[in-house]
Amino acid sequence: MSSTTVDVTQTRQSSLVPMIIIGVLFFIFGFVTWLNGPLITFVKLAFNLDDVGAFLVPMAFYLSYFFLALPSSFILKKTGMKKGMGLGLFVMAIGAVLFGQFVTMRVYPGALTGLFVIGAGLSLLQTASNPYISILGPIDSAAQRIAFMGICNKVAGALAPFVFGAVVMSNIGSFDKQIAAAGSPGEKDALLAAFAAKVHMPYMVMAGLLVVLAIWVVRSSLPEIKPSGANSERAIGHAKGSIFSFPHLWLGVLCLFVYVGVEVMAGDAIGTYGQGFGMTPEDTKHFTSYTLFAMLLGYIAGLLLIPKFVSQQKYLALSAILGVIFSIGTYLTTGYTAVGFVAALGFANAMMWPAIFPLAIKGLGALTEFGSAFLIMGIAGGAIIPVAFAHLKQSHDFQAVFLCLMVPCYLYILYYGAAGHRVGQHIKD
C-alpha cells in the first residue's frame, strides 16, 4: 500500500496502528541492541580477548550511529520515514549475515564490521522512528508514547540475554574448564572454533526475519507525517533560523550522549562489573536482564505519572537524582549488593530517553529530521564511556572508576531536565 500524507488531526485520531508498527520496531531495536551485553562475554571467550578488546563490541556498534545518523536524515528526506524504516531493517539484515559469517570464521575485525553495519541500519531506523512517535501526538505527552515504545524495547532486551544464553552460552562453565584442560594449541583452537560457530545459525535466522519485517513495514498502512506541521516552531516562540539557532537541541545532543553512556554502563558493563568481585561468566550471563527488568518498572512508573502528575522535564530531573544516589550506592557496597545498585540504575535511566528526545526536538519544524539525526549521533556515548571504563579500570579501582564516570553524567542530565531544555525558547513549559 502506498504512503499517504495525513494532517496532524487525522494522524492523532488513527494512531493505534502506527503505534503497533513502531512498537514492533522498538522490540527489534531492543533485542538487537541488548545482545551487546552477552556478546562482550562471548567474544572475550571466542576470540581469547581481554576486557579492552571485548569492549570494542559496543564501540563498533554505537560509533555507527555517530557516523551514519546524519546521512540517514538525508536518506529520509528522499525516501520518507516509512520506506526509510524498511531500508534500515534491510541494512540490519546484511549486518547480521556479516557478523554471523565472520564470527564463524573467527575474523574479529570482520565481526566488528558486521556489528557496525547492524548499527548503521539501526541509526536509520532510530532517526525515523523517534521523531515519528514524538510528533504522532502532542509533543508535551511524547514521553508517555516513547515510554510505551520503551516497554516494547526493554521486554525484547530482557529476553535477549536469556535467548542468547540458551542458544549460544549454555554450559559456559564447563566450556571454560574444557579450554583450560586442552592438551595442545590445536585442540584449544578447535574448541574455540566450535564455540564461535554456535552464533552462525541464530544470526542467519535473525537476518531472514529482518528482511520479512522490512517488507511488512513498507507494505503497511503506516502514514507519513510532515514534521513542519506537527512540530511547529511557534510552539517555542522561535522565528525561522538555521539548525544552530536552537540551543536546546545542542544541549540535548550532549545530554543524550551522556545518557546512552550511562545506560550502556548499567546494561552492558554490569557483567564485567560483577566479574570485578570474582564472579564467573556463568554467574553474570543474565545480569543485563536484571537492569532491563528495572527499566521496565521505570517505564511503567513513567506511563502512570507523565504527564498527569509530573511533566516529562521534571521527571527527567528526578531520574537524574536517582542516578546519582544509585551510583554512590555502587561504590559504598560490594558483591551482589553493588551489582544490585548497578541494575537499579535501569529504573533511573528508563524515562531519560523518552524525556530528552521530545524536549530536544521541540519546535524544530521542518528541521525535525535534521535535529533528530544529530540526537541519534549522540548515541555514540555508548561507545565512548564504557570503553573509558574498560581502560581506566586496568590501573584504578573499578568501583571508583564507575562512580567517577557516572555521577558527572547524571549531574548534566539533571541540569538539562531542570533548565537546559528551555535555553533559547521564549515560551515557558
- Give the model confidence (pLDDT) of 295-313 as tens digits: 889 988 888 888 788 888 8
The answer to whether residue 132 scores a pLDDT higher than 90 is: no
**Distance (Å, rounded) from C-alpha 331 to C-alpha 256?**
24
The answer to whether residue 222 scores a pLDDT higher than 80 is: no
CB proximity list for 423: less than 8 A, separation 6 or greater: 247, 248, 251
Closest C-alpha to 266, from 139, 133, 370, 405: 405
Q: Cβ-count burial of 318 within 10 angstroms (0-12 exposed, 13-18 middle, 19+ buried)?
A: middle
The band of 138, judged by pLDDT with boundaries at 50, 70 and 90, is low
Each residue's pLDDT tens digit, 150-182: 788 878 877 887 888 888 877 766 776 777 777
**Distance (Å, rounded) from C-alpha 100 to C-alpha 43?**
12
Work out the number of other CB atoms within 10 angstroms of the CB of residue 398.
19
The answer to whether residue 220 scores a pLDDT higher than 70 is: yes
The answer to whether residue 407 scores a pLDDT higher than 80 is: yes
Where is average pLDDT lowest: 62-71, 211-220, 366-375, 377-386? 366-375
The residues pairing with 392 across neighbouring beta strands, listed in sequence order, are none
The answer to whether residue 256 scores a pLDDT higher than 90 is: yes
Report the pLDDT value the prediction gives residue 33, as an integer from 0 to 100: 83
Report the pLDDT value the prediction gives residue 238, as an integer from 0 to 100: 59
The CA dihedral of 149, 153, 159, 160, to the nearest 10 degrees, is 160
**Distance (Å, rounded) from C-alpha 60 to C-alpha 120?**
10
Where is average pLDDT lowest: 81-90, 109-118, 334-343? 81-90
Report the pLDDT value the prediction gives residue 79, as an integer from 0 to 100: 84
Please, what is the average pLDDT of the chain? 85
Closest C-alpha to 166, from 275, 291, 289: 289
Query: What is the pLDDT averaged over residues 140-152?
Result: 74
Report the pLDDT value the prediction gives residue 13, as an integer from 0 to 100: 47
**Distance (Å, rounded) from C-alpha 270 to C-alpha 289?**
10
Report the pLDDT value the prediction gives residue 271, as an integer from 0 to 100: 87
